[in-house]
Structure 1
Amino acid sequence: MNLRLTIDGHPVDATLNDSATARDFAALLPLTLNLSDFHQTEKIADLPRRLSTSGAPDAAEAKPGDLAYYAPWGNLALFYRGSGSSDTGLIILGRVNGDTEHLATATKVTIEAAS
């Protein structure tokens, strides 16, 4: 599924993978979320509810541009730097297809299905 992210007013395209968790995330759209920085690696935001993790891998290593769900906390993560390690409970939902330079300073994101 193709997405449109608007990061502090800057539009960026993204693509969700076909996992059950990504499909469950897509059912929440459109969303506008306030972002917080986490470890100068990612922006995180609380989701309105927890997502299904059925069939998800136990761990994943995030790369810059990854859109992910951190199951232990139930939040969304947008990575602007790699995590450098495999994180238990991290589920990759998709990838930002465009420029991620605005993520490091972002405070708000709107995520919607691309038309």
Structure 2
Amino acid sequence: MKKSLSLVALVSTAAIALAACSAPAAENTTTTSPGAATAPSTTTTTEPSAPAEASTDGTPITITAGDVVMTATLNDTQVAQDFAATLPVTLPWFRNAGIEYISELSAPMTETGPFYTDVQPGDIVYYNPLDSITIIYEETSSVPTLTKMGEITSDLSVFDNLPDNVDMRIERG
């Protein structure tokens, strides 16, 4: 699968992609994940469902990394609501492939789909094979085992200055 980068002003984070292409390899190894270029290629006979629509009726959350505060909304999928029940929580996150931040969970969450592959910058997804939550901040291709949990509603350019490894506190509000 190929990683595709975009210079679209909406994303405002092309600098991350350019820096990732020219930066030395990160301490963490690239992980097979929702947007990783190393994700295994799979062919399915059925197409994934469309993602759950973003809704203003979802659960508003804040994500804090140091002094950076982001806003987001969790949707009404079962996995998003299971995660909301664990809040507030502080999780370790790592940058992967210059397109996403991943946090591996200690236990799997309920996953009932719908699965989708049309990931967009700002999507928050649950990746079942690694029991992880991923925040996608660059355009990318995807694997068909994702459940959209919500989306970042604030400016994605804040990811430009976050460290490769960072603790993020997620809470309602």
**TM-score band (shorter)?**
0.7 to 0.9
Higher relative contact order (CA 8 A, sep 6+): 1
Aligned equivalent of 1:42:
100
Aligned equivalent of 1:109:
168
| Deviation at residue 21 of structure 1 after TM alignment | 1.0
Aligned equivalent of 1:64:
121
For 2:144, which of 82, 88, 91 is the aligned residue?
A: 88
The DSSP-based 3-state class of the residue aligned with 2:149 is strand
The DSSP-based 3-state class of the residue aligned with 1:35 is strand
The structure with more strand, counted as a fraction of residues: 1
| Deviation at residue 61 of structure 1 after TM alignment | 2.4
For 1:78, which of 135, 150, 156 is the aligned residue?
A: 135
Give the counterpart letter for 2:123 in structure 1: D
| Matched-pair contact (CA < 8 Å) for 2:104–2:131 | yes
CA distance in 2, matches of 1:51, 1:103: 26
State the Cα deviation string for residues 42-91 of structure 1 (Å, max 9, x = none).
0001123211112x0233322111111111100010111022x2422111
Aligned equivalent of 2:68:
10
CA distance in 1, matches of 2:132, 2:167: 14
How many equivalent pairs are there? 112
| Deviation at residue 7 of structure 1 after TM alignment | 2.4
The DSSP-based 3-state class of the residue aligned with 2:95 is strand
Aligned equivalent of 2:10:
none
Structure with the greater alpha carbon radius of gyration: 2
Correspondence 1:26 to 2:84: yes
Extract unaligned runs of 5+ from structure 2.
Answer: 1-58
RMSD in angstroms over aligned alpha carbons?
Answer: 1.5
Give the counterpart letter for 2:168 in structure 1: V
Extract unaligned runs of 5+ from structure 1.
Answer: none
Give 4+ residue runs of structure 1 displaced > 3 Å after superposition. Answer: none
The structure with more helix, counted as a fraction of residues: 2
| Deviation at residue 102 of structure 1 after TM alignment | 2.3
